[in-house]
């Protein structure tokens, strides 16, 4: 579907938000808290962006984009070239990060650009009158997107945690999640380190109460549509074709190149592999931005379009 950009606003030095409308002013398809749309960029790349506005709104979708210099160029194009009046091609909203409206108490934890789906969830819980507290982790006040809006909308139900970008000053999620009342859910969206910390702290919570989605340096820049690509193994001097419906790990196994794996979903770190060249479409939920410059999880991650990956195997 096509949408028209109604407004573009610089929210923080690195985050810009865009309001999208139906070109004819018609109501947009409904969405639920946590939903995203896939945006097709002029270079054919597909990017996923969460809808951050109130899920009851039908007149607009609001997305926010973190500028990532190390990404595939998608966020830079959104920041530099997309302007009011432009038409964007998007998918209708889809949801892989659903809000369970049956929870009695909810921790909403966001890191950086991961605030986007969490904001929509907070709006929905507020509307339903369900208990929640929003924890928003950023480096400092300047990089805290929608700070005034959050203060105004959610009052004492929010906590800003500024860590100065230092891991040792990260929100103490273990202490936060140590005491859990019955019927409590936790939702976390942000960089891999934050997600891992929450999942570890809540490892013994009942099934279905811990919800997470990777954002920050990874999720936002995921090309959601699988494309085929070639992978070259440097030490063996072998090249394999990875079809759209296969992972690197599967293709290597079929060709008798064994790499250890356990979860095959990008979170156990067992299949971590060093790559030598090529741009990676990181889809794991564990590697931090520094690790991602040289390592990838070959059970889930792929090559960005038109890239050939060279692995240190
Ligand atoms: S097998 Fe677990 S991250 Fe790849």
CA of 82 to the centre of ligand 1 (A): 36
Calculate the dihedral angle through the C-alpha atoms of 135, 139, 142, 147, rounding to the nearest 10 degrees: -10
**Residue 72: per-residue pLDDT:** 61
Q: Locate CATH 2.40.30.10 in the chain.
A: 2-90
Best residue for ligand 1 mutational test, from 283, 299, 311 (most atoms within 8 Å of Cβ): 299
CA of 284 to the centre of ligand 1 (A): 8
Q: Is 264 helix (H, G, I), strand (E, B) or coil?
A: coil
**Residue 214: per-residue pLDDT:** 66
Q: Locate CATH 3.10.20.30 in the chain.
A: 229-311
Q: Spelled out in words, what is the top-level CATH class assigned to the domain 105-220? A: alpha beta
2-90: which CATH number, 2.40.30.10, 3.30.2350.10, 1.20.1250.20, 2.60.40.420? 2.40.30.10
Following DSSP, what letter does each residue of 4-22 receive, concatenated? EEEEEEEEETTEEEEEEE-
**Is the distance from CB of 218 to CB of 295 less than 8 angstroms?**
no
192 Cβ below 6 A of ligand 1: no
Q: Is 77 helix (H, G, I), strand (E, B) or coil?
A: helix
One pLDDT digit (tens) per residue for the chain, 313 residues: 999 999 999 999 999 999 999 999 999 999 999 999 988 887 777 788 999 999 999 999 999 999 977 666 788 899 999 999 999 999 999 988 899 999 999 999 999 999 999 999 999 999 999 999 999 999 999 999 999 999 999 999 999 999 998 878 999 999 999 988 999 999 999 887 788 789 889 988 998 898 888 654 334 333 446 789 999 999 999 999 999 999 999 999 999 998 988 778 787 788 999 999 998 988 887 777 778 889 999 999 999 878 899 999 9
266 Cβ below 6 A of ligand 1: yes
For atom 3 of ligand 1, which residue has the closest CA?
A: 266
264 Cβ below 6 A of ligand 1: yes
User: Which atom from ligand 1 is nearest to the alpha carbon of 266?
Assistant: 3
**Is the distance from CB of 216 to CB of 113 less than 8 angstroms?**
yes
107 Cβ below 6 A of ligand 1: no
User: Can you tell me which residue has the tokens 């809808």?
Assistant: 51
Chain center to CA of 16? 16
Q: Cα separation of 35 and 98, whole Å?
A: 7
User: Which atom from ligand 1 is nearest to the alpha carbon of 260?
Assistant: 1
Best residue for ligand 1 mutational test, from 192, 196, 267 (most atoms within 8 Å of Cβ): 267
CA of 189 to the centre of ligand 1 (A): 20
CA of 265 to the centre of ligand 1 (A): 6
Q: Locate CATH 3.40.50.80 in the chain.
A: 105-220
The neighbour count for residue 239, using CB atoms within 10 Å, is 11
**Residue 247: per-residue pLDDT:** 94
Q: Cα separation of 150 and 255, whole Å?
A: 52
User: Which atom from ligand 1 is nearest to the alpha carbon of 261?
Assistant: 1
269 Cβ below 6 A of ligand 1: yes
Q: How far apart are the first and last CA of the chain?
A: 42
CA of 300 to the centre of ligand 1 (A): 8
261 Cβ below 6 A of ligand 1: yes
CA of 271 to the centre of ligand 1 (A): 5
> Which architecture characterizes domain 229-311 according to CATH?
Roll (3.10)
């Amino acid at each position: 579907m096509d949408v028209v950009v109604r407004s573009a606003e610089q929210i923080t030095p690195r985050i810009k938000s865009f309001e999208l409308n139906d070109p004819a002013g018609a109501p947009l398809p409904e969405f639920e808290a946590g939903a995203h749309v896939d945006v097709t960029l002029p270079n054919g790349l597909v990017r996923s962006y969460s809808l951050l506005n109130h899920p009851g709104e039908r007149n607009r979708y609001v997305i926010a984009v973190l500028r990532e210099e190390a990404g595939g160029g998608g966020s830079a194009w959104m920041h530099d070239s997309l302007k009011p009046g432009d038409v964007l091609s998007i998918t209708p909203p889809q949801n892989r990060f659903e809000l369970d409206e049956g929870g009695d108490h909810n921790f909403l934890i966001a890191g950086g650009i991961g605030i986007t789906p969490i904001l929509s969830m907070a709006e929905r819980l507020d509307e339903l009158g369900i208990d929640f507290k929003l924890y928003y982790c950023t480096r400092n006040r300047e990089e805290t997107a929608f700070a005034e809006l959050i203060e105004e909308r959610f009052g004492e139900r929010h906590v800003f945690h500024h860590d100065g970008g230092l891991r040792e000053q990260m929100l103490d999620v273990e202490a936060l999640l140590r005491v859990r009342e019955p019927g409590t859910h936790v939702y976390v969206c942000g960089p891999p380190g934050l997600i891992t910390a929450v999942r570890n702290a809540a490892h013994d919570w009942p099934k279905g109460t811990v919800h997470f989605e990777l954002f920050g340096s990874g999720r936002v820049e995921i090309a959601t549509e699988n494309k085929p690509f070639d992978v070259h193994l440097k030490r063996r001097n072998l090249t394999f074709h990875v079809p759209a419906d296969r992972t690197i790990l599967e293709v290597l196994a079929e060709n008798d190149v064994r790499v250890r794996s356990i979860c095959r979903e990008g979170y156990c770190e067992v299949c971590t592999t060093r790559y030598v060249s090529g741009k990676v479409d990181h889809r794991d939920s564990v590697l931090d931005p520094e690790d991602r410059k040289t390592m990838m999880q070959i059970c889930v991650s792929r090559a960005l379009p038109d890239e050939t990956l060279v692995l240190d195997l």
